[in-house]
Amino acid sequence: MTSPQSTRTRRWRGAFAALAATLVTVPLLSACGTDTPRSLLASIKNGDVVLGTKYDQPGLANRNPDKSHSGSDVDVSEFVIKQIAKNNGWSEPKITWKETPSPLRERMIENGEVDMIAATYSISAARTKKVTFAGPYLTTYQALLVSKKTANPIKSLEDLNSGRKLCSVSGSTSAINVKAALPNVQLQQYDGYASCVEGVRRGVLDALTTDATILAGFQAKYPGEFDIVPMTYPKDVTLTSSTGTKTEKKKGDQFSTERYGIGLRKGDAEALSAVNRALRQMMLGEQGAATYDAEAVPSVPTCVVPASAVATFTGLAYANPDNELFKALRANLGEYANTMIDQGRPVEGGKPKSVLVAVPGDQTWLLPKEVPLNGPDGKPLVTDGKPVTAPQADQRTWCAKAGA
């Protein structure tokens, strides 16, 4: 038979256990967000915005010892938020930063943990299935970070093909691309870029490969220690992906082209328009953006941005060498920022060495070669049950003027 005392004891134990479970569960639920995507414009208007970024990429997005945040991506995010507030006559909101590791970015937007993400966030077809991308605001390429102190310096990609040790982050396509083109490279994969950088500093590794902008941040962190070597294919090569898809690369082609965008709630057209406008103002200034917007502005990645519109935009950006984007790059990425800016400068009657400035909203590269056409009502044209298409060179596929 159970005594009243032991029954009361069990009840108290059960109550304490339930209370403890509640105390543990509450913060965990809070940390997971609302499970509902946030509205960027509503958050700005209400005065409290949560921005996602990286915490461990010097020069781009870094959390400092005093818990402040710095880097060009941080500067881009802050400019966009403040400019949207200004454009709408709202007060500047309070900004809260949240770390968004690469594998979790889409989920954190979907769960409402952040309003937007700018964190070396490359726009891709796969990612656009889950989030909407504003931008791109910057174009970069795969490159090598090498030590200046080595007795046998690496000056070109071919120098790696003699059994040198190349480092990249585990699972990175950067290293896989190099291995496919240069089979004699000794590929070393580490968990993070910082470990690779330290290996190159100590001479244990010969080079690190990833986006040139990420490498520029580490070069600026360790002045005088590193060179950045461009990467182009030394010969024609056929690459085979993990799914068996084959891609032909020609001699001189870039190993990869990365276009950084700002991740938003899927389908948030108002936020997309507002962020793209702020990005154009960042590069062109308010007056320059107004001039360009009156000519041709892409709204969503369903139309082709003609080369003439891209040339106009690039020319306006370089007409103001102290535009806010260039200032952010120079302030955070050191000497290589000027190299990137100079290489992207328009060339009279020719092509620049590379592309840096991107037209915010221009995602033409995601479109198929045959682009579906819309009618005057904005609805897709269909004939005999099939969508009507036209090649990208057809002006009917080109983006209309602002607001159209």
Interval 113-140: pLDDT, tens:
999 999 999 998 889 999 999 999 999 9
More reliable by pLDDT, 248 or 316:
316
Task: Sketch the domain layout of the chain as residue ranges.
Answer: 40-139+258-305+318-344+355-361, 140-257
Tokens standing for residue 10: 């069990």
User: Would you state the pLDDT for residue 205?
Assistant: 94
CA distance 404 to 401: 6
User: Would you state the pLDDT for residue 305?
Assistant: 86
pLDDT at 20 exceeding the cut of 70: no
pLDDT digits (tens, 9 = 90+) for 347-369: 877 677 788 998 998 998 888 88
CA distance 364 to 350: 21
User: Would you state the pLDDT for residue 212?
Assistant: 93
pLDDT digits (tens, 9 = 90+) for 48-61: 999 999 998 999 99
Q: Which long-range contacts (CB under 8 A, 24 or more apart) does 286-290 make?
A: 288/316, 288/319, 288/320
Q: Residue 401 — very low, low, confident or very high, per pLDDT cuts 50/70/90?
A: low
Q: Angle at CA 339, nearest 5°, toward 286 and 193?
A: 100
CA distance 183 to 378: 50
Give the containing element (helix H, strand E) for 76: helix 72-88
- φ, ψ of residue 21 to 5 degrees: the values are -65, -40
Range with top average pLDDT, 78-87, 208-217, 379-388: 78-87
Classify 212 as helix, strand or coil: helix
Calculate the average pLDDT of the chain: 84
* Distance, C-alpha 23 to centroid of its chain: 37
CA distance 125 to 366: 6
Tokens standing for residue 267: 């389908």
More reliable by pLDDT, 150 or 83:
83
User: Would you state the pLDDT for residue 1?
Assistant: 46
Both ends of the chain: CA-CA distance in Å?
82
CATH of domain 140-257: 3.40.190.10
Q: Residues of 208-241 as b/e, b for ≥16 C-beta within 10 angstroms?
A: bbbbbbbbbbbbbeeeeebbbbbbbbeeebebee
Span 40-139+258-305+318-344+355-361 CATH architecture: 3-Layer(aba) Sandwich (3.40)
User: Would you state the pLDDT for residue 304?
Assistant: 87
User: Would you state the pLDDT for residue 89?
Assistant: 98
DSSP 240: E
Q: Residue 250 — very low, low, confident or very high, per pLDDT cuts 50/70/90?
A: confident
For 269, counting Cβ atoms within 10 Å of its Cβ (0-12 exposed, 13-18 middle, 19+ buried), the class is exposed
pTM greater than the 0.75 cutoff: yes
pLDDT at 215 exceeding the cut of 70: yes
CATH topology identical between 40-139+258-305+318-344+355-361 and 140-257:
yes
CA distance to 28, 383, 402, per residue, from 398 (Å): 48, 21, 12
Q: Residue 46 — very low, low, confident or very high, per pLDDT cuts 50/70/90?
A: very high
